[in-house]
Amino acid sequence: MQVIVNCYVPWEHGFVMLCKPRRGWWYLPGGKVEEHELWRLAAMREFAEETGITLTDAALRGIYQVRIAGGPDEEPKHRLIAQFVGYGASGVLLPQHREGKLAVVRPDEMLGLPMDEGDRLMLKRTIAAEYQGDKRVFFGRFEYDVQHKLLACEMDPANYEFDPPFGAAQEGDAM
């Protein structure tokens, strides 16, 4: 199973995201963990490489299993995503990286961006928890078809209130 790390880092009244050109989807900066590399250090390294911003620390906020169905010419993919929150950010945000365009996004803007729906669910929890000072680690499982359409997901905790910065919680908003 491939381990992927990504990192949510508050920056200039928002947080840093990367738009990859393949699908035009937005992602948190991150990437593959190298052999024998520790996950937290990998998240900090990947974030610095992709953004130009260095971090003094990072804390684990989510561990998620992802399964993507295979197709006629593709093997199924099994990944583990470890999502971190970065602290002590300093430097100058690059406008562009070989992976795509970088931007500072506000939490309310993230809701309308084209992105992987599982990633959106993960990120909403991380942002809401950070906003509320909740340091818990979330867990989840996501299943996709070969076109990367979300078929099923399970999150722990199953219900989590999304207070600001996403606006007042309404019926059906808890996830």
Q: How many CA atoms lie within 13 A of 32 on its CB side?
A: 6
- pLDDT, the chain, mean: 91
Q: Give whole-number Cα distances, 99 to 8, 36, 57, 149, in Å.
A: 17, 24, 23, 22
> By the 8 A CB rule, do 167 and 90 touch?
no
Across the range 14-18, mean pLDDT stands at 96
Q: What is the pLDDT of residue 170?
A: 39
Angle at 50 between CA 16 and CA 88, to 5 degrees: 55
pLDDT at 141 over 90: yes
> By the 8 A CB rule, do 5 and 42 touch?
yes
Distance of CA 5 to the CA centre of its chain: 8
What pTM does this model have? 0.90
Structure-block tokens of residue 155: 């999150």
Q: What is the pLDDT of residue 78?
A: 97
pLDDT at 39 over 70: yes
Across the range 78-105, mean pLDDT stands at 95
| Percent residues over pLDDT 70 in the chain | 92
Instruction: Please write the tens of the pLDDT for every residue from 19-36.
Output: 998 889 999 999 999 999
Instruction: Locate the domains of the chain by residue range.
Output: 2-156
Q: What is the pLDDT of residue 167?
A: 53
pLDDT band, very low/low/confident/very high, at 175 (cuts 50, 70, 90): very low
pLDDT at 164 over 90: no
Bridge pairing between strands 100-105 and 10-11: unpaired
- For residues 85 and 20, what is the distance between their CA atoms, to the nearest angstrom? 21
Across the range 155-163, mean pLDDT stands at 83
What 8-state DSSP symbol labels residue 74? B
Which residues make beta-bridge pairs with 90? 54
Across the range 33-57, mean pLDDT stands at 97
Q: What is the dihedral of CA 155, 109, 136, 158, to 10 degrees?
A: -20
Three-class DSSP category at 16: strand
What 8-state DSSP symbol labels residue 88? S
* CATH match of 2-156 with 3.10.620.30: no
Across the range 110-120, mean pLDDT stands at 93
Across the range 79-93, mean pLDDT stands at 98
Across the range 94-110, mean pLDDT stands at 92
Bridge pairing between strands 77-87 and 2-8: parallel
Three-class DSSP category at 145: coil
